[in-house]
Amino acid sequence: MSSIALGDATAVRYTVTNMSTQTLITLPNTNLRQASKKVGYIDEKIHELIERMEAITLEWEASRDHEVGVALAAIQIDVPLRAIVVRNDFDNKEDKTFRAFINPVITKYEGEIVEDFEGCLSVKDLYGKVPRYNKVRVKALDLTGKEVRFSAEGFLARVFQHEIDHTNGTLFVDHIHDSPAAFYKLNEEGNLQQLDYEKDIQNSKTLWNK
């Protein structure tokens, strides 16, 4: 048995028996809609968590013909801690390196709101046209515990908004719940096809935990 110690007084102690047994969770698992807790202390268990998240993202990618695993939040492997990993090069599948961000927050939203497609490892086979800010400022800790602050633009800004949403228990589908034209699925040829909102989405027990 091992555990993740959270130093901050408001945080509870979160215990994981063995990080290597944590696996990807998908909707309708309601844990995905829980807010995660702040990491108080970056110890060896947090490093193990990050390694597991990276391995699971790459395993998922290897099982998919047309998709790239670009990022993951800890809650997606059922660990409710504020930690995310983001791929260093989204355009080159051969680059299997990531960067980890602990307790990430968006400190400022900037630029225009832009709609674009996004998918999620925890929302099987579904894509959505989601409105996001084109530019955000992010504050986080790196794995040495040092504070990092930076701006992200375009697709990277979208990735941070999507992943930081996960730490707050929000999924991309929640942003487009009432947008009938925003839901797509990926067909076997790797093309996006619009879904029938009334038939496939509106009353989906998988998506809305109804």
Nearest residue relative to Zn ion (C-beta): 120
Report the nearest approach of Zn ion to the CB of residue 97 (Å): 19
Q: Between 43 and 208, name the residue whose CB sits nearer to Zn ion.
A: 208
C-alpha angle 92-96-100 in degrees, rounded to nearest 5: 115
Report the nearest approach of Zn ion to the CB of residue 65 (Å): 19
Q: Which of 163, 188, 189, 198 is catalytic?
A: 163
Q: Between 19 and 120, name the residue whose CB sits nearer to Zn ion.
A: 120
The site for Zn ion (CB under 5 A) is made up of 120
Catalytic (active site) residue 163: yes
d(CA 197, CA 34): 26
Report the nearest approach of Zn ion to the CB of residue 101 (Å): 14
d(CA 86, CA 98): 5
Q: Between 40 and 166, name the residue whose CB sits nearer to Zn ion.
A: 166
Q: Between 120 and 186, name the residue whose CB sits nearer to Zn ion.
A: 120
Report the nearest approach of Zn ion to the CB of residue 7 (Å): 28
State the Rg of the chain over Cα: 17
Report the nearest approach of Zn ion to the CB of residue 146 (Å): 26
Q: Between 53 and 201, name the residue whose CB sits nearer to Zn ion.
A: 53
**What is the set of active-site residues?**
163
